[in-house]
C-alpha cells in the first residue's frame, strides 16, 4: 500500500480510503465489519464517513454508519491504527433531495453551536475521543456543487460567515476533539479563502478537499488541482467509479438486482446525457487492453499527482477486493492516450 501525507498534518494515509456510506442501508453491520477487517489487513488505514450516512439519507438511518464504525472500534480495538474522517452537514441552499431537515431540528448551519453539537454527537456514535479529519460536507453558501453549473450569486446571503466556521472548527481542534480539518464539495475560491484566513489568523489549515473525480468528471483539474499541488491540500476523490457506472454494469439500460441505481433511480447524476457514450468507450478501451473496467477507472484516479486518497466503496466483498487491488494496476501509455481521446471527444459528461 502507498501512503501519502494528509496535507501538512504529518498523518500518513493510505492511497486507498474505505468509503462507508452504504453501511446501515445497503450493507448490514456484519458486512461492514467484514469490510473493515479486510481493508485493514490489506494496509488501508483511512476510513471516511459522515454524520449524514447512510445514503440515501433518512431520519431512520441518520448516524447509522458512524454507529457501526463505533461498534467496530468497541469490538476490535485498534483505534490508533485508523485515520478516521467524518463530516458535518448543513442546510443545502441549492436544494436537498431527499430533504434532511430532521438533523439538529433543521437548524443546520456551520456556526459554533452546530459544529460543537455535531462533533460531540459524532464522537459519541463513533465511540472515540477524537476524529482525525473533520470535514465540512458542503458549503452553506450558494455555490456550485453536486453537479450544479452556472454560478448564481445570492445578494441576500444569510449563510454563516466562513470566518466564524473556521473559528468554530479551531475550537474543536484546540479541545482535542479533532486533529485536522477538511472541505468537501467546495470550490477554488472557498479553499483558497479558508487557507488565507488560516494563515492570517493562525488557525487550523485545510488539509484536504473531498470532491468528485472520475473518468466522467474531471472538473477538479480545471482549478482545484493546482490548489492541491501548490498548497499541499490534496484531493480525497469520491465517486471515482461514478456510482459504479464505470464498471459497465448499467450499460444498455441494465439495472442489476440490488445495485445502487436499481434501488435508488433518482441518483441519476452519472447516467444522464452523454455519459452512456463515454462509458461505453471507456469500458471497451479497458477490455481491449485486458483490463477490468472498474480497476482501470480507479487506477486512473490513483495515479493523479494531486491525489491524497481515492475513496472506494463496495456493497460486496468481491467488489471491495477488486477495488483495493486497483492500487497495483499501472496504466500503459497506450491506455492513457486512449483515455485522453475519449475525454477530448466527450469531456466531463457528469459534472
Q: Return the number of other C-beta atoms located less than 10 Å from residue 220's C-beta.
A: 22
Catalytic-residue membership of 53 = yes
Report residue 131: phi and psi, to 5°.
-115, 130
Q: From the candidates 53, 62, 250, 270, which is the catalytic residue?
A: 53
Q: Return the number of other C-beta atoms located less than 10 Å from residue 64's C-beta.
A: 19
Using CB atoms within 10 Å of the CB of residue 24, give its burial: 0 to 12 exposed, 13 to 18 middle, 19+ buried.
buried
Cβ contacts of 135 within 8 Å, gap of 6 or more? 50, 85, 86, 87, 88, 181, 182, 183, 184, 208, 210
**What does DSSP say about strands 234-238 and 3-5: parallel, antiparallel, or unpaired?**
unpaired
Which of 143, 300, 287 has its CA nearest to residue 216? 300
Which of 284, 287, 279, 281 has its CA nearest to residue 254? 279
C-alpha to C-alpha distance for 246 and 241, rounded to whole angstroms: 5
Which of 129, 132, 52 has its CA nearest to residue 87? 52
Nine cell digits for residue 274: 452523454
Enumerate the active-site residues: 53
Amino acid at each position: 500500500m502507498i501512503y501519502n501525507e494528509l496535507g501538512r498534518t504529518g498523518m500518513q494515509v493510505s492511497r486507498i480510503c474505505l468509503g462507508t456510506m452504504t453501511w446501515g442501508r445497503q450493507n448490514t453491520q456484519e458486512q461492514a465489519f467484514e469490510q473493515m477487517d479486510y481493508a485493514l489487513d490489506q494496509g488501508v488505514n483511512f476510513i471516511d464517513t459522515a454524520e449524514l450516512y447512510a445514503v440515501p439519507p433518512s431520519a431512520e438511518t441518520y448516524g447509522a454508519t458512524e454507529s457501526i464504525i463505533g461498534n467496530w472500534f468497541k469490538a476490535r480495538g485498534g483505534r490508533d491504527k485508523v485515520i478516521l474522517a467524518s463530516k458535518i452537514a448543513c442546510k443545502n441552499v441549492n436544494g436537498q433531495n431527499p430533504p434532511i431537515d430532521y438533523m439538529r431540528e433543521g437548524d443546520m448551519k456551520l456556526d459554533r453551536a452546530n459544529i460543537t453539537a455535531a462533533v460531540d454527537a459524532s464522537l459519541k456514535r463513533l465511540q472515540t475521543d477524537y476524529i482525525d479529519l473533520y470535514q465540512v460536507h458542503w458549503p452553506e453558501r450558494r455555490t456550485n456543487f453536486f453537479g450544479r453549473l452556472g454560478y448564481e450569486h445570492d445578494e441576500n446571503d444569510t449563510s454563516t460567515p466562513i470566518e466564524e466556521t473556521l473559528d468554530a472548527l479551531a475550537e474543536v481542534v484546540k479541545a482535542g476533539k479533532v486533529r485536522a480539518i477538511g472541505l468537501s464539495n467546495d470550490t477554488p475560491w472557498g479553499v483558497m479563502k479558508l487557507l488565507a484566513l488560516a494563515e492570517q489568523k493562525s488557525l487550523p489549515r485545510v488539509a484536504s478537499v473531498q470532491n468528485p473525480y472520475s473518468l466522467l468528471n474531471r472538473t477538479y483539474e480545471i482549478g482545484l488541482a493546482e490548489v492541491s499541488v501548490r498548497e499541499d491540500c490534496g484531493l480525497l476523490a469520491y465517486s471515482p467509479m461514478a456510482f459504479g457506472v464505470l464498471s459497465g454494469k448499467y450499460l444498455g439500460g441494465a439495472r442489476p438486482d440490488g445495485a445502487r441505481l436499481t434501488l435508488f433511480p433518482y441518483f441519476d447524476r452519472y447516467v444522464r446525457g452523454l455519459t452512456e457514450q463515454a462509458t461505453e468507450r471507456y469500458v471497451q478501451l479497458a477490455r481491449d487492453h485486458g483490463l477490468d473496467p472498474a480497476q482501470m477507472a480507479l487506477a486512473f484516479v490513483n495515479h493523479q499527482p494531486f491525489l491524497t486518497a481515492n475513496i472506494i466503496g463496495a456493497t460486496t466483498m468481491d467488489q471491495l477486493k477488486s477495488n483495493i487491488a486497483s492500487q497495483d494496476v499501472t496504466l500503459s501509455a497506450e491506455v492513457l492516450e486512449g483515455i485522453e481521446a475519449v475525454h477530448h471527444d466527450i469531456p466531463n459528461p457528469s459534472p
